[in-house]
Amino acid sequence: MAAINIIQRISCFSSAAAALLVGYSFRQASGSHSFFNMGKGSSAFTAAASSSSCNTNSDEDLPSMIVFDLDDCLWTPEMHELSGMPSIPVEGPLDPSDNNSQLGTVGMKVPSRRRGNKKGFDWGGYAHDGEEVVELYPGARLVLRELAMNPRYAGVKIAVASSSLEPSYSRACINGIEIVDGVTMKDMISYSQIGREGQLTSRKTSHFKLIHEQSGIPYDEMLFFDDCNWGDHVGDLESAFGVAGIR
């Protein structure tokens, strides 16, 4: 895989993981600008559909690791927007496409409520009257459920790389939010680099360097999803390490 260029690797990864990635939109909140629209109109779908160098029935085309950003990529709101630690579990259907599905912890709530809140943290169906509830985007939850339940992805490691300003808040959400019954985000994540202190900076290259050292997985066998709108982590990682990414 090392000899294949970035575009081809994204095509192969997307083709091989079509059931996981193509057709899902990470950001399904009404009116949001989607960096992660993996539908038929996206360049990722086009690349996957037109790729002739990939065997879509071969697990060899799956990335060895999928790395996700967190804030405004997998979940909302962002940690720095919260007024305190999200420590109260919020219950709801674990499958966002089936309201009658198994109940579990679908969000983490801040104990206090905002007063005079003009920013509108009442997101989704679980926050009311100024409550602050961190919830996965529906599309992101579907993707994580596919990774957790489909045996095809059993060999794919999951990691997170976040430059969160409140890493303890991020970890509280990872520890508490369930993907399937009895399986939290923490249970699924093999490697986690969160924050921008110590060896970590605002550049995701610092996060990936540690993930690479800890896992031993080559950079060119990783697939990264990020939404950053104040910089281009995907381009930075491609230039520095040759990581294939989608933004």
pLDDT in tens, 188-227: 999 999 999 999 998 889 999 999 999 999 998 988 888 7
Distance CA(204)–CA(8), nearest Å, equals: 23
Residue 225: strand pairing partners: 68, 246
pTM, two decimals, is 0.77
| H/E stretch holding 229 | none
How large is the C-alpha radius of gyration of the chain? Answer: 18
Phi, psi dihedral angles at 107 (to 5 degrees): -160, 170
Closest by CA to 234, choosing from 208, 197, 196, is 208
Peptide bond into 167 cis (omega under 30): no
- Dihedral over Cα of 66, 212, 161, 206: its sign: negative
If you average pLDDT over every residue of the chain, what do you get?
76
pLDDT digits 0-9 by tens, 72-124: 889 999 999 999 999 999 999 999 889 999 999 999 999 976 655 545 444 44
Over 80: is that where the pLDDT of 61 sits?
A: no
Tokens of 151: 């045996």
